[in-house]
């Protein structure tokens, strides 16, 4: 039976390249000359740590981070921007977690959306991936086309297509 997997993986090397490009661009910008700026990727915890002089500069760094990541091929949804910046002395800090994998509640939403669509496929949650199986490849392609319209706040990839 044909099948494919929904996943939400972030390539660590691509993420590292994006953070390095952002670091280089920010240090060369005129409005950041002489200012305290730290952009660092915690590879173990999948977090980007940002430090700057003000909240406004943190937001500018986040904008550059998203735009450069998109040029590297990462979706903007990989960053969890829900945490607010906090002040530590004279420095404003922000932790930006990187979403890697599909959480259980998001997986359940995806399975429910697939079942509600009425397409004759089966969806199974396997850790942080969702396996979709069906009798025809056309049904699987229909699920992929349908999924592009979902606004779940996570970046989905379609991998491991088997016929």
- By residue range, what is the domain housing residue 138? 3-8+101-162
Q: What is the CATH number of the domain that holds 139?
A: 3.30.70.860
Same domain, 114 and 128: yes
Check whether 163 has a pLDDT greater than 80.
no
Cα separation of 134 and 136, whole Å? Answer: 6
Q: What is the structure's pLDDT at 149?
A: 87
Q: What is the structure's pLDDT at 158?
A: 87
Same domain, 83 and 108: no
The model carries a pTM of: 0.82
Domain end among 41, 67, 97: 97
Same domain, 81 and 110: no
Q: What is the structure's pLDDT at 160?
A: 84
Domain end among 51, 81, 97: 97
Same domain, 111 and 91: no
State pLDDT tens for residues 46-67.
999 999 999 999 999 999 999 9
Average the pLDDT over 133-147 and give the result: 90
State pLDDT tens for residues 65-109.
999 999 999 988 899 999 899 998 889 999 999 998 888 998 999
Same domain, 74 and 30: yes
C-beta of residue 54 within 8 angstroms of C-beta of residue 130: no
Same domain, 108 and 73: no
User: 98: which 2 tokens?
Assistant: 């990187």
Q: Which residues pair with 132 in a beta bridge?
A: 4, 123
Q: What is the CATH number of the domain that holds 31?
A: 3.30.70.990
Domain end among 43, 68, 97: 97
Q: How confident is the model at residue 13 (pLDDT cuts 50, 70, 90)?
A: very high
Same domain, 71 and 118: no
Cα separation of 26 and 10, whole Å? Answer: 23
Same domain, 70 and 128: no
Same domain, 125 and 73: no
Residue 131, number of CB atoms within 10 A of its CB: 15
C-beta of residue 96 within 8 angstroms of C-beta of residue 83: yes
Q: What is the structure's pLDDT at 68?
A: 94
Number of domains in the chain: 2
């Amino acid at each position: 039976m044909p099948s494919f997997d929904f996943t939400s993986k972030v390539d660590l090397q691509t993420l590292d390249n994006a953070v390095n490009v952002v670091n280089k661009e920010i240090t060369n910008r005129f409005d950041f000359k002489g200012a305290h700026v730290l952009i660092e990727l915690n590879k173990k915890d999948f977090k980007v740590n940002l430090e700057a002089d003000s909240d406004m500069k943190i937001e500018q760094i986040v904008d550059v981070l998203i735009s450069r990541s998109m040029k590297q091929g990462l979706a903007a949804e990989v960053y969890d921007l829900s945490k607010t910046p906090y002040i530590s002395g004279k420095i404003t800090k922000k932790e930006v977690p990187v979403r890697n994998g599909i959480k259980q509640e998001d997986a359940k939403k995806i399975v429910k959306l697939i079942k509600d669509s009425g397409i004759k496929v089966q969806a199974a949650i396997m850790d942080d991936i969702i396996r979709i199986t069906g009798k025809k490849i056309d049904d699987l392609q229909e699920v992929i086309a349908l999924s592009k319209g979902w606004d779940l706040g996570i970046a989905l990839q379609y991998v491991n297509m088997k016929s």
